[in-house]
Amino acid sequence: MQRSSYRIVSYKIRHDYNVGEFLNSYKHLLQKAIDDIWDNMEWVEKKQRNYYVIKRGKRKIRKHYYVKRLIPIIPKSREFKRALRSQLLEDWNYASHYVDSAIKTAYSILNSWRRNYIKGKRGRNKPVVKRKFVRVKETLYRFRDGKITITIKPRQFYLEFDLSKAWFKNRIKGCDLGELILKESELIITFRKPLGEEKVSECIGWDLNLFSMDGFSPRYGWIRVDLRYLYHIHRVHEVKRRRVQSKASKKSSLKTIVSKHGEREKNRARDYIHKLTTQLSKMFPNAVHGFEDLDKQGMRNRSKKHNRDVAKQNWKQIIQYMSYKSRVKLVDPKNTSSTCPACGGRMMKLRGGQVVRCEKCGLTLDRQLCGAINIYLKMCGFPPSPSTFYRVVIRKMIPQWKVRMRGGRGVTTNGGKDDDMPPMNPRGGPNLMNPQGLHRLTKAYVS
Ligand SMILES: [Zn+2]
């Protein structure tokens, strides 16, 4: 996702070849490979330290205890793989390279199962292949004169795809062709796009919130993108869902409507996020975008849990889509919204939490902006220090904010009186994003 010198892009082509039987056989082959590896796994008993938390007054105490767990060891020796290969080849009627592809896929499925099992996210059940797909390695297709030819059965059965007519042909000039994924009615083609020529000249730190996405970079200052429309999508569907759900409990035919609503909600959100990220990557073509690593993030705010869960899904999607279109760097989310970017002190919430102020130096900032600045500093590797803060944040933003420094009082805007100042919002409240006219979306505050 980050720190690679190329980017993977993929495109779909629809086809109407009759490959159902082939895909079915491959599915069985893959399952057989998984079964075989599974049956040869060793389970080793290990002691693991675990804990639970008890509250004593205001303090939380961890109580440790030990559990015995079975840890699987996946057979990886060359002899085992060779035996597996020859066994799978016995009743395989297509090109033998598919057996290698199946073995590789089986290992990656089992490895990811094992990782999750150790984390406690998966049980001790064997993974089952449900989807019909084949990964086509580079040895199984030929790319010549804009045409991809895939071997299914040597000298008997080939598939041909003409890329010279595809809509994306101009986008893939100079790209290397990567792995193909064959499905029943489409072919997914991946390309490696070299990033060498793209110049990266600036970093933007982004703080994701329920209603807005706040960015900071010394060049653009505070960039605020309105996400209320995204919130609105979920609200509308929640109301609808609740209305149908109460009826659905009595009538089973309505249950499909409930799940349809969920689909539609997801599609609308996905569509919005795609447009949003495309626009952001066009607005800041040379930027590296920094986000919090959400997998490492505990729930920051336990209230309104449901809303935050939904929003977190969206945030993950925003980061994921952003990484397809731009460079993305993830930073440790620890204390990004509660640390003073200037001195490293603790930020206290003022006025219902929208504004925060440093206990130590008195710096007062909008909470979201504070998060964005901290993410920016983290992605550049700057620890909080007054001189860095002055250099990268204040000096560049004086013309925008008309910031003034006062002895011991820290930073306030001109309009602010001492400690109780309005959030540093350069041009008033954010605009509600208009889904049709996306150009209005990034009436973000860029100057
Ligand atoms: Zn401070």
Taking only the tens place, the pLDDT of each residue in 38-47 is: 999 999 988 8
Q: How far apart are CA 128 and CA 275, in angstroms?
A: 35
Range of 60-69, 77-86, 171-180 with top mean pLDDT: 77-86
- Rounded to 10 degrees, the C-alpha dihedral 225/231/234/236 comes to -120
> Which long-range contacts does 46-51 make (Cβ < 8 Å, 24+ apart)?
46/70, 46/71
Q: Which of 172, 197, 222 is the last residue of a domain?
A: 197
The answer on 178 and 55 residing in a single domain is no
State in Å: Cα 345 to ligand 1 middle: 5
Q: How far is CA 123 from CA 30, 115, 117, in A?
A: 21, 11, 6
What tokens appear for 13 in the block?
């082509």
Residue 195 has a pLDDT of 63
92-101, 102-111, 235-244: least confident range: 235-244
Residue 1 has a pLDDT of 42
Q: Which of 133, 166, 197 is the last residue of a domain?
A: 197
Give the strand pairing for 147-153 and 410-412. unpaired
State in Å: Cα 224 to ligand 1 middle: 23
Mean pLDDT of 246-273: 78
State in Å: Cα 49 to ligand 1 middle: 38
Tell me: the pLDDT tens digits for 208-234?
988 888 888 888 888 888 888 888 888
State in Å: Cα 347 to ligand 1 middle: 7
Residue 413 has a pLDDT of 33
Residues of the domain holding 65: 44-71
State in Å: Cα 357 to ligand 1 middle: 8
The answer on 312 and 165 residing in a single domain is no
State in Å: Cα 59 to ligand 1 middle: 26
The answer on 320 and 239 residing in a single domain is yes
The answer on 370 and 266 residing in a single domain is yes
Tell me: the pLDDT tens digits for 154-188?
888 888 888 888 888 777 777 788 888 999 889 99
The answer on 233 and 183 residing in a single domain is no
State in Å: Cα 377 to ligand 1 middle: 14
State in Å: Cα 19 to ligand 1 middle: 64
The residue among 340, 322, 309, 360 whose CA lies nearest residue 215 is: 322
Asked whether residue 66 carries a pLDDT value surpassing 80, the answer given is yes
Rg (CA), the chain: 27
Asked whether residue 143 carries a pLDDT value surpassing 70, the answer given is yes
Number of structural domains the chain divides into: 3
Asked whether residue 58 carries a pLDDT value surpassing 90, the answer given is no
Handedness of CA 20, 26, 28, 30 (dihedral sign): negative
The answer on 295 and 169 residing in a single domain is no
Q: What is the mean pLDDT of the chain?
A: 79
Give the strand pairing for 355-358 and 347-350. antiparallel
Residue 388 has a pLDDT of 82
Residue 426 has a pLDDT of 36
The answer on 381 and 268 residing in a single domain is yes
Buried b (16+ CB within 10 A) or exposed e, 367-380: bbbbbbbbbbbbbb
Confidence at 196, pLDDT banded by 50, 70, 90: low
Mean pLDDT of 191-212: 77
Mean pLDDT of 46-64: 86
The answer on 301 and 176 residing in a single domain is no
Residue 382 has a pLDDT of 83
Q: How far apart are CA 135 and CA 181, in angstroms?
A: 5
Residue 324 has a pLDDT of 85
Are 178 and 192 in contact, with CB atoms under 8 Å apart?
yes
State in Å: Cα 295 to ligand 1 middle: 28
Confidence at 289, pLDDT banded by 50, 70, 90: very high
Asked whether residue 263 carries a pLDDT value surpassing 50, the answer given is yes
What tokens appear for 307 in the block?
């809303």
In this prediction, what percent of the chain has a pLDDT beyond 90? 20
The answer on 317 and 286 residing in a single domain is yes
State in Å: Cα 341 to ligand 1 middle: 7
Confidence at 442, pLDDT banded by 50, 70, 90: very low
Mean pLDDT of 308-330: 85
Residue 400 has a pLDDT of 55
The answer on 366 and 230 residing in a single domain is yes
Q: How far apart are CA 16 and CA 155, in angstroms?
A: 21
pTM reported for the whole predicted model: 0.55
Mean pLDDT of 331-339: 85
State in Å: Cα 360 to ligand 1 middle: 5
State in Å: Cα 189 to ligand 1 middle: 51
Length of the chain in residues, anyone? Answer: 447
End-to-end CA distance of the chain: 30
State in Å: Cα 213 to ligand 1 middle: 23
State in Å: Cα 339 to ligand 1 middle: 8
State in Å: Cα 217 to ligand 1 middle: 19
State in Å: Cα 380 to ligand 1 middle: 19
The answer on 288 and 223 residing in a single domain is yes
Sheet of 6-14, strands arranged across: 6-14, 186-194, 176-182, 134-136
Are 222 and 375 in contact, with CB atoms under 8 Å apart?
no
Residue 425 has a pLDDT of 35
Q: How far apart are CA 223 and CA 279, in angstroms?
A: 13
Q: How far apart are CA 406 and CA 421, in angstroms?
A: 14
The answer on 400 and 288 residing in a single domain is yes
What tokens appear for 191 in the block?
């390309």
Q: How far apart are CA 300 and CA 258, in angstroms?
A: 30
Residue 264 has a pLDDT of 86
Q: Which of 163, 197, 231 is the last residue of a domain?
A: 197
